[in-house]
Structure 1
Amino acid sequence: MITPHHQPTPITPRRTKTRASIPTEVEGKGELFIPAHCSSSSSSSWFGHCFVPRKEMVVIDQHVLWTFFASLFGFVLLYTLRRNNNSNGNKIKTKKMTFPKECAKESFPDGECRPVNGSGTDVIIVGAGVAGSALAYTLGKDGRRVHVIERDLTEPDRIVGELLQPGGYLKLIELGLEDCLEEIDAQRVLGYALFKDGKNARLSYPLEKFDSDVAGRSFHNGRFIQRMREKAATLSNVQLEQGTVTSLLEENGVVRGVQYKSKDGQLHKAYAPLTVVCDGCFSNLRRTLCNPKVEMPSCFVGLVLLNCQLPFANHGHVILADPSPILFYPISSTEVRCLVDVPGQKLPSVANGEMASHLKTVVAPQIPSELHDAFISAVDKGNIRTMPNRSMPADPHPTPGALLMGDAFNMRHPLTGGGMTVALSDIVVLRDLLKPLRNLNDAASLSKYLESFYTLRKPMASTINTLAGALYKVFSASPDPARKEMRQACFDYLSLGGIFSTGPMALLSGLNPRPLSLFLHFFAVAIYGVGRLLLPYPSPTRMWIGARLISGASGIIFPIIKAEGVRHMFLPATVPAYYRARAPPHQV
Structure 2
Amino acid sequence: MTGHSLLAVIGSSILALLFIAGIRVRKTRRREKVDAGDPFVTRKVQNGWESDGGGGPDVIVVGAGVAGSALAYTLGKDGRRVHIVERDLTEPDRIVGELLQPGGYLKLVELGLEDCVEEIDAQRVLGYALFKDGRNTKLAYPLEKFHSDVAGRSFHHGRFIQRMREKAASLPNVQLEQGTVTSLLEENGTVKGVVYKNKAGDEFKAFAPLTIVCDGCFSNLRKSLCSPKVDIPSSFVGLILENCQLPFPNHGHVILADPSPILFYPISSSEVRCLVDVPGQKVPSLANGEMASYLKTLVAPQLPEQLQDAFLKAIDKGNIRTMANRSMPAVPHPTPGALLMGDAFNMRHPLTGGGMTVALSDIAVLNNLLRPLRDLHDAPSLCKYLESFYTLRKPVASTINTLAGALYKVFSASPDQARNEMRQACFDYLSLGGVFSNGPVSLLSGLNPRPLSLVAHFFAVAIYGVGRLLLPFPSLKRMWIGARLISGASAIILPIIKAEGVRQMFFPVTVPAYYRTPPLN
Answer yes or no: same fold by TM over 0.5. Answer: yes
| Structure 1 equivalent of residue 502 of structure 2 | 566
Distance 2:80 2:368 in 1: 13
Counterparts of 2:297 and 2:417 in 1: how far apart (Å)? 26
**Structure 2 match to 1:505:** 441
Cα RMSD of the aligned pairs, angstroms, is 1.3
Q: 2:42 & 2:477 partners in 1: Cα distance?
A: 77
* Distance in 2, Cα, partners of 1:239 & 1:550: 54
Matched, 1:586 2:512: no
CA deviation map 1:434-463 (0-9, x unaligned): 000011000000000000000000000000
Residue identity in the other structure for 1:182 = E
Aligned to 1:532: 468
Q: CA deviation at 1:266?
A: 1.0
Q: Is the 8 A contact 2:42 2:50 kept in 1?
A: no
Q: 2:193, 2:243 → 1: CA distance?
A: 48
**Bigger radius of gyration:** 1
Corresponding position of 2:9: none
Do structure 1's residue 240 and structure 2's residue 176 form an aligned pair? yes
- Indicate the residue corresponding to 1:18 in structure 2: none
Counterpart residue type for residue 286 of structure 2: V
The match for 2:278 is 342
Report if the CA contact (8 A) 2:354-2:400 is conserved: yes
Give the aligned partner of residue 158 of structure 1: 94
Instruction: Note the C-alpha offset of 1:108.
Output: 6.5
Match of 1:409 in 2: 345
1:196-275 map, 5 Å: 196-275=132-211
Given that 1:115 and 1:121 are in contact with CA atoms closer than 8 Å, whether structure 2 keeps it comes out as: no
Q: Is the 8 A contact 1:433 1:450 kept in 2?
A: yes
What is the CA deviation profile of residues 200-251 of structure 1, one whole-angstrom value per residue up to 9, with x for unaligned ones? 0000000000000000000000000000100111101000000000000000
Q: Report sequence identity in percent.
A: 81
Counterpart of 1:481? 417
Contact 1:460/1:514 (CA < 8 Å) preserved in 2? yes
Secondary structure of 2:315's counterpart equals helix
Relative to structure 1, the CA distance from residue 256 to residue 497 in structure 2 (aligned partners, 3 Å threshold; closer, same or farther) is same
Q: 1:400-453: per-residue Cα shift (whole Å, max 9, x none)? A: 000000000000000000000000000000000000001100000000000000
Show the counterpart of 1:80: none
Aligned AA for 1:478?
S
Query: 1:442: which partner in 2?
Result: 378
Distance apart, 1:175 and its partner CA: 0.3
Q: For the residues of structure 2 that align with 1:467 and 1:219, how far apart are their CA atoms?
A: 23
1:303 and 2:249 matched = no
Q: Which amino acid aligns with 1:103?
A: D
Q: Given the superposition, is the C-alpha separation of residues 283 and 274 from structure 1 closer, same or farther in structure 2, using an over 3 Å criterion?
A: same
> Hey, what's the Cα distance between the residues in 2 that align with 1:372 and 1:318?
15
Q: Is the 8 A contact 1:259 1:269 kept in 2?
A: yes
Q: Distance in 2 between matches of 1:125 and 1:576?
A: 28
Superposition deviation, residue 267 in structure 1: 1.1
1:101 is displaced (CA, Å) by 7.8
Residue in structure 1 matched with residue 20 of structure 2 by the alignment: none
- Letter matched to residue 485 of structure 1: E
Question: Residue 105 of structure 2 aligns to which amino acid in structure 1?
Answer: Y
- Secondary structure, in 3 states, of the residue corresponding to 1:103? coil
Q: Could you tell me which residue of structure 1 aligns to residue 56 of structure 2?
A: 120
In structure 1, runs of 5+ residues without a counterpart are 1-98
Q: For 1:392, which of 315, 318, 328 is the aligned residue?
A: 328
Amino acid in structure 2 at the alignment position of 1:517? S
Query: Which residue identity does 1:546 align to in structure 2?
Result: G
Inter-partner Cα distance in structure 1 for 2:92 and 2:279: 26
1:108/1:332 CA distance change after superposition, 3 Å: closer
In structure 2, C-alpha distance between the alignment counterparts of 1:153 and 1:220, rounded to whole Å: 16
Q: Distance in 2 between matches of 1:150 and 1:525?
A: 44
CA distance in 1, matches of 2:222, 2:56: 25
1:429-468 equivalences in 2 (<5 Å): 429-468=365-404
Whether the aligned pair in 2 keeps the contact of 1:117 and 1:237 (CA below 8 Å) is: no
Describe how 1:298-377 pairs up with structure 2 within 5 A: 298-377=234-313
For 1:455 and 1:427, the matched residues in 2 are separated by 14
TM-score of the two chains, using structure 1 as the length reference: 0.81
Letter in 2 for 1:231: K
Is residue 102–residue 108 contact of structure 1 (8 Å, CA) maintained in 2? no
Question: Would you say the 8 A contact 1:137–1:235 is kept in 2?
Answer: yes
- TM score, norm. by length of structure 2: 0.91
Q: Structure 2 regions of 5+ residues with no counterpart? A: 1-33
CA contact (8 A) 1:116 1:239 kept: no
Q: Contact conserved, 2:234 with 2:325, CA < 8 A, in 1?
A: yes
Say if 1:579 and 1:384 are closer, same or farther in 2 by CA, change over 3 A.
same
Distance in 2, Cα, partners of 1:471 & 1:431? 31
The answer to whether the 8 Å contact 1:257/1:272 transfers is: yes
Question: Partner of 2:24 in structure 1?
Answer: none
